[in-house]
Amino acid sequence: MLTIRLFRVGRKNQPAFKIVVCDKQNAASRGRFVEEVGFYDPLTKQRNLKGDRVKYWLSVGAKASPTVHNMLVTDKVVEGPKIAKHKLSKKPASPIGGPASPNASQGGPAEQATEQAVPPKAEETPDAPETTLPTAPENSPSETPQKAA
């Protein structure tokens, strides 16, 4: 299957792309493509497309990549809606700390995450040390406290 796609050329931090027709299984690495049908420079936003050749390859059965399809729609070589290039994540969106508690404020996710991550300090460290009462062994009835009558 033929694909019309971008082929990166240019130096490091200076990208430029050839728009080429290549086989889907064999990527356009090292200049192996069927035909060059255009050029795109993202730094200057300059584009050069051979519209008649693109229409020919599309009529033969080549498919354009989403980015190239959007370029063709913008340049009015092809009519139709643009394609969303970024796919949505399949994972369900959840807040960082898990489901929000019913007593939590109605603030945004950042407020809820802060509240869940930092509990109030009054509950963590009590001011007075806890006192414990001595416990009597269970088997000795003489040491159990008697109720005053």
Q: Does 107 fall in a domain?
A: no
Query: How large a percentage of the chain has pLDDT more than 70?
Result: 61
Task: Determine how β-strand 2-11 pairs with β-strand 14-23.
Answer: antiparallel
Quickly state the pLDDT bin for 144 (edges 50, 70, 90).
low
Helix, strand, coil percentages, rounded to 5, for the chain:
25, 20, 55
Mean pLDDT of the 53-72 span: 94
Quickly state the pLDDT bin for 129 (edges 50, 70, 90).
low
Residue found under tokens 């009462």: 133
Q: Report the CATH number that the domain containing residue 36 is assigned in CATH.
A: 3.30.1320.10
Quickly state the pLDDT bin for 67 (edges 50, 70, 90).
very high
Of residues 30 and 137, more confidence is placed in 30
According to the model, what pLDDT value does residue 54 have? 94
Q: Does 125 fall in a domain?
A: no
Q: Does 66 fall in a domain?
A: yes
Contacts of 143 (CB under 8 A, 6+ apart): 136, 137
**pLDDT (tens digit per residue) in 2-14:** 999 999 999 999 9
Domain residues for the domain of 18 are 2-74
What's the CA gap between 83 and 85, in Å, rounded? 6
**pLDDT (tens digit per residue) in 117-127:** 555 555 555 56
Number of domains in the chain: 1
pLDDT of 143 > 70? The answer is no
Of residues 132 and 5, more confidence is placed in 5
